[in-house]
Structure 1
Amino acid sequence: MTGPEAVTAPVVDAHHHIWDLSVRDQDWITGAAMAPLRRSFAVEDLEPEAGAAGVTATVLVQTVCVPEETPEFLAVAGRGGLVAGVVGWTDLTAPGIADTLAALRELPGGDRLVGIRHQVQGEPDPAWLLRPDVRRGLAAVAAAGLAYDLVVLPPQLAAAAEAARLLPELTFVLDHLGKPPIASGRTDAGTHSGPGTDTGTAAWADAVRTLAARPNTVCKLSGMVTEAAWDTWTTDDLRPYADVVLDAFGPDRLMFGSDWPVCRLAATYGEVYDAARSLTGGLGQDERNAVFGATARRVYGLRDGGGAGGPADGRS
């Protein structure tokens, strides 16, 4: 594609998932609305959709907090092809976390391990990230040269910002903009009010800016369509939220992620990519190339042509 939204460098999709329901259940896929996700999804299913968008490398992200999943994902990445990095899971509170991370690195595909994530959004304690045992685990993640992905809800952003302050050696990657309440930002007239016009969105925007003030934080331009009204969202609904993170983090600390296949609840892969392209259309060429590839390659230490490099410095 040519024009102001064109991306000239190879595209990295910094956030997607796969799962095989014959191996284990995904117990978060419940209810009629989630039925489209109640099937297995493999990298082979993603390849044609990602390829049509010009994606040449992806980051595969954990879905469930079980130790078996990460070795499975590393094996997928180790086969080569689209998956250049894996954000896996391990128990941050375990005393032997450093040994566990080292052991993961020795597995087939272990050189593709680029980050760790826990479902913090499911923790009832909004300050879970600040628990001493969790902070000890985060320090081990940093010592291993890995990034830490944050999947949090808006009330947990304050603890994330404090954790980033306490652990300046660790790169924190905010998934899905911190899940702003996009759908509830719609007015009765059907127009979108945007951040700052109601209590929930204003609190989210303030918390995101506080997090972004820490230089060791990065944000994924991902997950917006499923935080919006699934059947009626428009790019204009997403724009006020994208503008907040673009302003707060800047293109060099922002990276595109599809959140496939979860995005399929609200949009096709192509629609998600096109929306992200439109939302960044006001950027310069180098800035767009950062959002759609360079930031992810630097933060996660991804090598050109797939694969992971050494420890990344994502604090720029």
Structure 2
Amino acid sequence: MTVPHPRPGIVDAHHHVWQLSVRDQDWITGPELAPLRRDFTLADLAPEARAAGVSATVLVQTITVPEETPEFLELAADNDLVAGVVGWTDLTAPDVADSLAWLRAGLGGEYLVGIRHQVQGEPDPRWLVRPDVLRGLTAVAEAGLVYDLVVKPHQLRAAAEAAARLPQLTCVLDHAGKPPIVSGDSAPWAEEVRWFAALPNTVCKLSGLVTEADWGTWTVEDLKPYTDTVLDAFGPERVMFGSDWPVCRLAASYGHVVDTAQKLTAWLTPSERHEVFAGTAERTYGLTFTGLPGPLQEAPCA
């Protein structure tokens, strides 16, 4: 169980940090991603988060190296903003259970709430249902951890198959499965998302959508068909907000992302909006908060 934090108004269930002097982010290449080729730290995020009404976050892995997760756990232990960490370990290794136990036993290990792998970069669209991967996912479930899925639409069917084979594992779909927002088309993404959502052990993040849209011209209305599909398929009690900061900065400021999410969910009831902006993340990741919930603060338009 994670360390108790004061109960937030908004939980940001998905963001990253990195320091290039500590470890290169080799995925940041080309002129389009150049704005990300600098350090992004919790000290950078904190004032933006507080201004948007966010007082608790989940820090998510960025690259597939074993050193990153212990560093993130130490950051969480030393910072009152981070309530949980989704880290990385090699799911295909025969000693994955031991690796998870080692992470849990280290400094900040109580903040480990989940594991993620960059499945979107795997050439095999059925990587998730390989026997060695399923064995690793079983170890994740047995450790009481959640599995975050970063996949592209063509990998969603395998994600659903893996979730169906492991009903004891909670599977969280990052970035709503990366819908094709630029094209304006929802097929076959919508059908695959509904297959995934039909399984009771699945959850979805409203995160990363602004960077799946046209960075310079997107509007709330461009995103609405996709967020409506997610909310209809999963229900608000299985949907959680995430900023995907600092990657979101390619298309929008932190405040703009929070404000956009609030506009996209404005039609929900107050209790349903609380689920999206705090309750789902709290239950899914086992985050521990104290006190009464704060009001859902409206983010400034940006």
Matched, 1:27 2:26: yes
2:300 aligns with none
CA distance in 2: counterparts of 1:159 and 1:109, whole angstroms: 33
Q: CA deviation at 1:80?
A: 3.2
CA distance in 2: counterparts of 1:155 and 1:254, whole angstroms: 21
Output the amino acid matched with 2:181: I
Matched, 1:281 2:266: yes
- Of 78-87 and 125-134, deviating more is 78-87
Gapped regions of structure 2 (runs ≥ 5)? 1-6, 292-302
Output the amino acid matched with 1:15: H
SS in 2 for 1:226: coil
Q: CA deviation at 1:184?
A: 1.5
1:222 aligns with 207
SS in 2 for 1:227: coil
1:256 aligns with 241
Output the amino acid matched with 1:203: P
Output the amino acid matched with 2:31: A
SS in 2 for 1:225: coil
Output the amino acid matched with 2:85: V
Q: CA deviation at 1:56?
A: 1.1
Which runs of 4 or more aligned residues in structure 1 lie more than 6 Å from their structure 2 counterparts after TM superposition?
none
- TM-score, normalised to structure 1's length? 0.89
Output the amino acid matched with 1:56: S
| Closer/same/farther in 2, CA of residues 305 and 55 from structure 1, 3 Å limit | farther
CA distance in 2: counterparts of 1:46 and 1:101, whole angstroms: 28
Does the 8 A contact of 2:8 with 2:56 survive in 1? no
Matched, 1:300 2:285: yes
CA distance in 2: counterparts of 1:215 and 1:126, whole angstroms: 23
CA distance in 2: counterparts of 1:56 and 1:252, whole angstroms: 20
Pick one of 170, 184, 192 that aligns with 1:207.
Answer: 192
* Offset from partner CA, 1:128-183 (integer Å, 9 cap, x none): 00000000000000000000000000000000000010000000000000001101
2:99 aligns with 100
CA distance in 2: counterparts of 1:273 and 1:56, whole angstroms: 13
SS in 2 for 1:210: helix
- TM-score, normalised to structure 2's length? 0.93
CA distance in 2: counterparts of 1:260 and 1:239, whole angstroms: 20
Q: CA deviation at 1:9?
A: 6.2
* Offset from partner CA, 1:247-291 (integer Å, 9 cap, x none): 000100000000000000000001100110000000000000000
Q: CA RMSD in A?
A: 1.2
1:171 aligns with 170
Query: What are the residue-to-residue correspondences of 1:5-154 with 2, within 5 Å?
Result: 10-154=9-153
CA distance in 2: counterparts of 1:305 and 1:24, whole angstroms: 35
Q: Percent sequence identity over matched residues?
A: 70
* Offset from partner CA, 1:195-248 (integer Å, 9 cap, x none): xxx4xx210000000000000000000000000000000000000000000000
CA distance in 1: counterparts of 2:289 and 2:52, whole angstroms: 17
1:235 aligns with 220
1:244 aligns with 229
Output the amino acid matched with 2:245: W
